[in-house]
Each structure stands twice: as structure tokens, then as C-alpha cells.
Structure 1
């Protein structure tokens, strides 16, 4: 494969990798303080992230007044900034330092019981808190497989791949070969990770409710469950106020086990909502979760909230 990276992309990738390596030596509490300083700047100057976050919050929390939603949007972008600053720590800091930063574990028995029964575990890992810390913990304690799509900046691929695999995680491609690898891992009573809140390509999902609106949701989960009898749990790494993280495993909504794709997808979205309820500010609201609904509509929607989509 020929290298198509541009000089600008190469320099950008090197600069980002250098930043991660530099920040890897900082404590999570220090990174959290840096996020508190940088987050307001992100809110002020990153128009796209600010506006999409506020649009999503207006849709999912219509009962909140505008001032409350703006406060939540500012808090959310501080957490998103913290996640970016913490990537070097999660991927490059000494393993014992990352392990020590995980202060609490909730619901581990859900994984242990499933494996004791000879069942695999599907971990639904939404974009909440720091999902790279969750990957670190899972791959440190269980045989763990997750799908991986290389980043747009090619120079970052080896950095990210090495960071995610360093504790033993197996990364597989986001294609049928990768799905086959997930099935094999589940049949070996291992754990696999799925991102439940990314919109799939057309033909790989169904519309199911996410809060008060339909969102295009992947149908991979019912296919894995039907062929493996795996247990499903939601997993997140919640950021603690004084630094460090709490890992939470939550029992899945029972609808995820339905054979019907729409019912299962509804259960998946309910799982994401359950994770968000732990601390709504820690969810990555700047993702365009309802984009496929808008694509399906003819012309531009009348509702001003969706003009940016």
C-alpha cells in the first residue's frame, strides 16, 4: 500500500503523538485541571462542537431550561477535553500507574458470573468518561477483543494500536472478518467490546428510539447474541471529581436479547441512556447521533435544531 499521507498530516500526527507522550507522565488530577482550563476555550472557539452539543442536549433534555443545557454543554466539553488529554496516560503511562488511577470497580461480578457459566461477555462501551481506560482495565483482566478502525491521520495508527493492545487486547477490523473474530472470542467465553452509539453505514442498522427521537442503531449485537448465548453488559470508566476513575458494569436492558432487530436496538439505546444517567456531562454529546434520520428526510428540516446536521 502506498503512503498517501500529506506533509501537513505527517506533522500533525507527530505533534499529537508528542503531546500524548508528554502528558503521559502527568497525574489524572493534573490532566483534569488542565481540562478545566482548556475546556472553556473549546466551548468558545470550537463552534461545531459547541453547537452540535447544544442541539443534542435540547433534543434529549427538553425539560431543562436553556441556561441549564448550556451549563451542561460547557461541562460536557470540559470532559471531552479531559478525554483527549488523558489518551497518552491511558496508552503510554506505566501500567501500574493506570491501574492505580482506577479507584473503584462496580459490577465486576456480572463478567465473572458469565465466564463461570461458560458464556462470553459483550461489553457495550458508549462514548462516556474515558473509554480507553475501560479498554485498559478489560484487557488487563480478561481475554478481550474489540473492533478497530484506523484513524484518519495515518501516522497515529501505530501509536493508537500499540496503546490499545499493550495489555493484551486483540484488535480486529470493522468488517465481516472482524465479526467472525468476535464470534470466535465469545465462543471461547471471552469478552468483546462494541461501541453502541456510533451510527453504522446504511444497511447495517435500524431506527430505534434514543431518548425522544429515532436514531439509526447498529444490528450487530442481536447477531452475536443469537449465535453465542453471550451475556451483555454496559461498561464505562467514569471520571472522578478529584482525579482517577470508577469502572462501572451495568446489567443490560433485557430487550438486547430479542431476536427482532428493532427491539434489540431499542434495548441497546436504553443501555446507553442508563450509562449516561451516571453523569450526563461525561457523555460525548458532540457526536451527530441523529444524522441518519436527517439524511432520510427530504430537503432541509424545518426545525432549526437540525440545520447543522
Structure 2
């Protein structure tokens, strides 16, 4: 939800937009070198990002020793810094240069085969690598629809929207009207993108395991699959440090097609885990994925109970 306009918000938006424009012409190799300088600063001075990253990595990789997890946390914050620095390139940079930075495509046949059979494709796009580069590539090569929620800084909305739509992507709101638009796109055998690892509001999800811990997970996917017979793939733009990007499409865990929402959600989370395994440092571990808990759900005043996948 966009914040009301204010002088401080305008100044902040102007500073961010200026940074994006300044970096829009930089090449991935230069942006990566800059991220290697800024990542350690984030780790040192941003206690929130450092703490959440470490807590999540402890949950996801308990088998690693402390030194290995610290190393992974440092690398993760460098990759997160790279993602932020690359936004100007992804949204405002030269189209041909950005296309040229995508050096590898893996699994495209999963999309092509589904569309050849008359099926739409649902792309699960987790916060891995640079998802804006993935959006650029998808909308450059397929009719593509994705949900969009305006940023908190309202002044940045036109920049982000224009950047995501510049290759023809159709952005729809995160409400029933947007869901209807996704259904129509899938029935036209087009591709749609959804965020599988963003915590939904109460009533729009179920609890399912994610790296061994119950995470509140959206139930939009089984509703789309049930009404469209769409195929589901996971898509990421993996960073090739100092070089560019590799696009990967992976077949989703078969449980995503189950009619039971909790089982399907478990399949979604397993699909995200499989994508993260490509390079765990490139996942956005600083996101509070476990904010909602089953214990909190049981105590909600509306009395609504939430099923757990066991």
C-alpha cells in the first residue's frame, strides 16, 4: 500500500530514483563489484537484515557449522545488495544490453511444451537472484501477466510500473479483479507469474513446511490450477557474478497440482527449496518468512482455524 505523500517521502523517492538512473547504464560486472563493497556495509550496520538472515539460515541449514553459515550470510547480503543495485539496469537500462546480459537459458522447453499442448503456464518466481531480470525475459518472449502492488513510496510507482511493463507485461492488482485477469490469461494459454514465498494476509493461506518449519503460504496457486489445467514451473534469474545472468525453469513439485490446499502449499514450498538449491546465497534470506505462526492462528479472535500439512 502506498504511503501518503510527504516531503520526507518525496526526498527519499527522489534519492532512490536518482540512484537507479545513475546505475542504469552500468554493466553487471561493475554492479557486482559495487555490491561486493556495499554488502559488507549492510552486514555491519544493518542489524535487522543481518539478524533475520542468520536466523533463517540457522533454520534452513542446521547441518552447517557456524563458520559456514556466517560465510553464507555474508554472501547472501552481497547478492541482496547486487539485486538492489541492478534495479536501475532492469527497469531503465538499454533493452539490448540487458538481453545480452542473459547468457544462459535452462528449461525453456517446459514453457514451450505446455503452450504447444494448449496449457497456460504459472511461473512461481521466488525472491532469488534478480527476479526483475526474470520478469524482463518472460515478458520479452511470452504474453505475460503478473500481480502488482504499488510500493510504499508512492512516487516510485510510475518508475517501477513503467520498468516492469516496458516489454509488454500486463500488471494486475492483488485483488479478485487481478485473480480474474490471471485466469483469463491462463485460459488464453499465456504465462502468468506469482510470488510463492511472500507471506499472505490472514485467510489467504495455510501453513506448510518450508525448510522444516511451518510457514504461512498463499493458496492462490491451487485455485488457479483447478480452474485452468495450467502447468506450473519455478523460474529464477540466477546471477553469474561478474558476468550476467542464467534463466532457469524447473518443473514444480507434483504436489502443487493436488486439490487439497495444504498439500499444494507444501508442493509450492518444496519447489522454492529446489530453486534455492541452485545457489543458496542468492535467496533473499533477510525476509521474515516465518512471521505468522500456527500458535498465533489458533488464538485469532475470529475463531478461524488453519490447517497444517503434516
TM-score, scaled relative to structure 1: 0.94
Q: 1:206 and 2:206 equivalent? A: yes
**What residue in structure 1 maps to residue 151 of structure 2?**
151
Q: How many Å apart are 1:94 and its aligned residue?
A: 1.1
Within a 5 Å distance, the mapping from 1:8-23 to structure 2 comes to: 8-23=8-23
- Distance (whole Å) between structure 1 residues aligned to residue 198 and residue 147 of structure 2: 12
Q: How many Å apart are 1:103 and its aligned residue?
A: 0.2
**What residue in structure 2 maps to residue 5 of structure 1?**
5
**What residue in structure 2 maps to residue 175 of structure 1?**
175
Q: 1:256 and 2:256 equivalent? A: yes
Segments of structure 1 that go 5 or more residues without pairing to the other structure are: 300-309
Q: How many Å apart are 1:122 and its aligned residue?
A: 0.1
Stretch deviating more after TM superposition (286-295 or 54-63)? 286-295
Q: 1:197 and 2:216 equivalent? A: no
Segments of structure 2 that go 5 or more residues without pairing to the other structure are: 300-310
Partner-residue secondary structure (3-state), 1:292: coil
Extract structure 1 runs of 4+ deviating beyond 3 A. Answer: none
Q: 1:292 and 2:262 equivalent? A: no
Partner-residue secondary structure (3-state), 2:217: strand
TM-score, scaled relative to structure 2: 0.94
- Distance (whole Å) between structure 1 residues aligned to residue 27 and residue 154 of structure 2: 28
**What residue in structure 2 maps to residue 101 of structure 1?**
101
Partner-residue secondary structure (3-state), 2:178: helix
Partner-residue secondary structure (3-state), 2:288: coil
Q: How many Å apart are 1:242 and its aligned residue?
A: 2.6
Identify if the C-alpha distance between structure 1 residues 289 and 4 changes in structure 2 by more than 3 Å, giving closer, same or farther.
Answer: closer
Is the CA contact (8 Å cut-off) linking 2:207 and 2:294 kept in structure 1?
A: no
Partner-residue secondary structure (3-state), 2:250: strand
Identify if the C-alpha distance between structure 1 residues 41 and 278 changes in structure 2 by more than 3 Å, giving closer, same or farther.
Answer: same
- Distance (whole Å) between structure 2 residues aligned to residue 61 and residue 224 of structure 1: 32
Aligned length: 298
Q: How many Å apart are 1:65 and its aligned residue?
A: 1.2
Stretch deviating more after TM superposition (141-150 or 290-299)? 290-299
